[in-house]
Amino acid sequence: MLDYKLLAALAAVVDQAGFERGARQLGLTQSAVSQRIKLLEARLGQPVLMRSPRLAPTPLGQRLLNHVQQVRLLEHDLLDEVPALGSGDEPRLRLAINADSLATWWPEAVGRFSDRHRVLFELVVEDQEVALKRMRDGEVAGCICDSPRPVQGARSHALGSMRYRALASPAFIARYFPNGMTAAALKRAPALVFGPDDRLQHRFLAMYGVEPPFPYHLCPSSQGFVGLALAGLGWGMVPERQAARELGDGSLQEIDPSGHLADGRLVDLSPQRVVDIPLYWHHWRQGGQVLDALTDHLLSLSDSWLVPPDATPGG
C-alpha cells in the first residue's frame, strides 16, 4: 500500500525545488521531510529523487508524482460532491503547451474556462512535436501535440490546425530576394528557428525543393521571434493569428503580383503557401471532472482559434 504522507513529501520537494522549501510548505522540519523520502525509497527498493546535478524525480518518482496529481484531482471532485468533508484548495493542472499556442489562443481559451471553474494551471512550455513525451513520462496531466496517438491511459482529440506563414521584413526581402522567391535565394537567406525541435522552416523550404543545411538564428521566444523578423535578421514561420494580433491591421502585407514590396512591417513571402500543423489535445482518462470540463471546453470552441480539422490547407 502507498503511504500518501510519503508521497506528499515527494511532491512538495519537487514542487518547491528543494527540501527546505518543501518542508516549509508542509509545515515540517527539513529533517522530517528527508526521512520521509528515505523511507519511501527504502520501501520501494529504488530511488525516487536524483540529488545531483540538480534535484529531479527519477522515472519511478515521476510516475508517483503523476499518481499524486491524479489522486488530488479526484479528491477535489469528491470534496465538491460531499461538502461535509470540507473544502479543498483549487486543483492544479500541470499541462504541456507549445509556445505558439501559449502566445496566441491558449490565454483566451483558459481565461473563459476559469470564469466558470476554480483551477490553477502549471504550464510547461514544450514544442508540439515532443510534448507527448511529457505525457508518456507522466509529467503532465494533459498536453497539446501534433500526434493523434494517445499514450496508455490517455485520450486524444483533434483540435484543429495552427496556420503558419513565412514572414520577413521588407528590407530583408530586398536584400535576399531581389529577384523573387527562388530555391537558391532561400538556401542563402538566414531563417529564424524556435529551437532544435522546430521543423516548420524545413517544411516550408521543402515546398521549394530546399533541403538542409541552411543558415538560421535560434530564438526560443515567440514574441522575440517576431521581433527578430521585424528587425530584419531573418525570415520565419509565424502563426497567422499572432501576426494579425501583434502587427495590427495593415502591417502584415503580401508581395504584390508585380513583385514590388507593399509598405508593411512584415511581408508574407508566399501567400499561397502556408504550413498547417494539426494540434491534438491529450489528457488522462482518469483525470477528474476539472480535466474533463477543460476538454469539453477546448473541443467546443477550438474552431474559434484554429483552422478546423477538415479545412483544406491554405484554403
pLDDT at 258: 36
Per the CB < 8 A criterion, the answer to whether 135 and 282 are in contact is yes
Tell me: pLDDT of 31 over 70.
yes
- Measured CA to CA, the distance from residue 290 to residue 118 in angstroms comes to 9
pLDDT in tens, 160-193: 999 999 999 999 999 999 998 899 999 999 999 9
DSSP bridge pairs for 154: 284
Q: What is the DSSP letter of 31?
A: H
| Cα gap 75→8, rounded to integer Å | 14
Q: How far apart are CA 116 and CA 83, in angstroms?
A: 19
Q: What is the pLDDT of residue 245?
A: 60
Structural domains of the chain, with CATH: 162-275 (3.40.190.10)
Q: Would you place residue 128 in the very low, low, confident or very high pLDDT band (cuts 50, 70, 90)? A: confident
pLDDT for 162 equals 94
Question: Helices 240-247 and 222-230, interaxial angle, to 10°?
Answer: 70
Contact 262, 253 (CB under 8 A): yes
How many whole angstroms from its chain centre is CA 232? Answer: 27
* pLDDT per residue as tens digits for the range 199-222: 999 999 999 999 999 999 999 988
Identify the pLDDT of residue 260: 31
The partner residues of 166 in beta bridges, in order of sequence, read 237
Whole-prediction pTM: 0.77
Helix axes 106-114, 288-301, angle to 10 degrees: 130
Instruction: Give residue-wise pLDDT tens across range 104-123.
Output: 899 999 998 988 888 889 89
Strand positions, DSSP E, 169-234? 191-193, 216-218
* Closest to 10 in 3D by CA, of 1, 35, 27, 237: 35
Evaluate if residue 143 carries a pLDDT over 90. Answer: yes
Q: What is the pLDDT of residue 249?
A: 44
Q: What is the CA radius of gyration of the chain?
A: 23
Residues making up the chain, counted from first to last: 315
| Mean pLDDT of all residues in 250-265 | 46
The rounded mean pLDDT for the chain is 85
Angstrom distance (rounded) from CA 149 to CA 153: 12
The residues facing 123 across adjacent strands are 95
Q: Which residue has the cell 502563426?
A: 239
Query: What pLDDT is recorded for position 32?
Result: 94
Q: Are strands 92-97 and 142-145 parallel, antiparallel or unpaired?
A: parallel
The residue that leads in pLDDT, 315 or 38, is: 38
Residue with cell 500526434: 147
